[in-house]
A and B are shown apart, each in its own frame.
Chain A
């Protein structure tokens, strides 16, 4: 199955976090451990994909003067849906994620893709674009969380990996600035490989 460019671009070449530099706040906050990072990544994917889909379906009927307001309403509704589901079915995780699920609406990736893509493209393409951007975001979150959890707590997904060898967790890894440094390193590696992304 040939994957369309809509799907593959946001995963690497046009990744929302390391290329478009969007969604950084939550990338710092929820990546202390891998499990919340995964849930957050999936939540953002869900919200971005379905906001894109809904807005694309509505794009011909929305009055242009209240375009942004309608986008906000759609995104906010989806975020509330996700939050309510987490509180009902994954309560412990929803407490760990606390306010950050509600803050998905402030994640620039969601509004950014709706404005840039969904309003000018067909529903299926928009949906795919939303999924891909969400997954691109999730990928980076998981990568950052991988390092932070492994080096900061010696575990991955809660399973002890390093502690049995007498490893003592590096507390610095548990603080947000470390996440920023890791994201910076990922951007560095990514741009070294993709030379065309380097600014002149």
Chain B
């Protein structure tokens, strides 16, 4: 052979030609297969939404209407525009930041009207996302189904959020408690009231991620959902005068905790009469949170 196979020129030429051929081949393959792959992902989303609605076998295009929500106003999205919505669902970062033109899916069968809200959040190792289906009825909003998935949570622990068993825990949970505040959460140590579900043992951080996801994403639709259910929109209990004491403020249980207190903790501290409710409140805060040091209740 006249060509020296180990000469630099030959090696460089060989590499360039090889890379060009491989690059062209893969690019061609990717573009040819892309429509099918995108169709697969679209179908997966539609099936997940139908599963959340509780009717996995039904046809999405026939049963579901797609809307954009602005405040409390719905604008219907025509079938031709729906692919845009699904593309937005792919871009999880943008979806998390969106505050207007929010996507909403509606399913009506007989007298039941359910809505599916797309959610995105952060688990321990990566993104988590899901679809929660809610039904405004009887003065509250009830969860009728939820489908969740994740990018890389620990199998057997955080990854359990994608299983039917964990998702079934949320069914029939009401979103808002007696003071109209958002109360659904995964509770570490086991559900403490009728609005909570058991968190995943060994999957605390993922469960916290689910809680944040539920609260923030459903929160964007709160005004609309409450209007549909005929509820008062504002939280009825907490006003700006009722400030939790400093330790309680750091406690993640604060939302449910402070509600039980009729008076703020600082008020109780200067009050001559022991405020039993505050004592219970501070104690519950300290027990429930791992980050806050146990608070010594001041005996007056």
- Please give the residue numbers on chain A whose beta carbons come within 8 Å of chain B beta carbons, in ascending order: 61-66, 69-70, 73, 77, 80-81, 84-85, 87-89, 91
Contacts and interface: CB of A to CB of B under 8 A. Distances in A.
Interface string B188-217: 000000000000000000000000000000
Contacts of A62: 5, 14
Interface of B: 5-6, 10-11, 14-15, 18-19, 22, 25-26, 29-30, 33, 36-37, 40-41, 43-44
Given A63-B5, A77-B25, 11 more contacts: A63-B11, A63-B14, A64-B6, A66-B15, A73-B19, A84-B29, A84-B33, A85-B33, A87-B40, A91-B41, A91-B44
A39 B224 CA distance: 47
A171 B218 CA distance: 36
A81 B25 CA distance: 9
Secondary structure dominating the interface of B: helix
28 contacts: A61-B5, A61-B14, A62-B5, A62-B14, A63-B5, A63-B10, A63-B11, A64-B6, A65-B6, A66-B14, A66-B15, A69-B15, A70-B14, A73-B19, A73-B22, A77-B26, A81-B26, A81-B29, A84-B29, A84-B30, A84-B37, A87-B33, A87-B40, A88-B33, A88-B36, A89-B36, A91-B40, A91-B44
A65 B11 CA distance: 8
A80 B44 CA distance: 22
Secondary structure dominating the interface of A: helix
B247 to A, nearest CB: 42
A77 B10 CA distance: 22
Contacts of B19: 73
A81 B6 CA distance: 30
Contacts of B36: 88-89
Nearest to B5: A63
Contact of A73 (B11, B18, B29): B18
Contacts of A64: 5-6
A63 B30 contact: no
A70 B10 CA distance: 14
Nearest to A90: B40
A62 B6 CA distance: 9
Nearest to B41: A91
Contacts of A89: 36
Given A77-B26, A91-B44, A66 B37 contact: no
A87 B41 CA distance: 9
Nearest to B13: A63
A81 B43 CA distance: 22
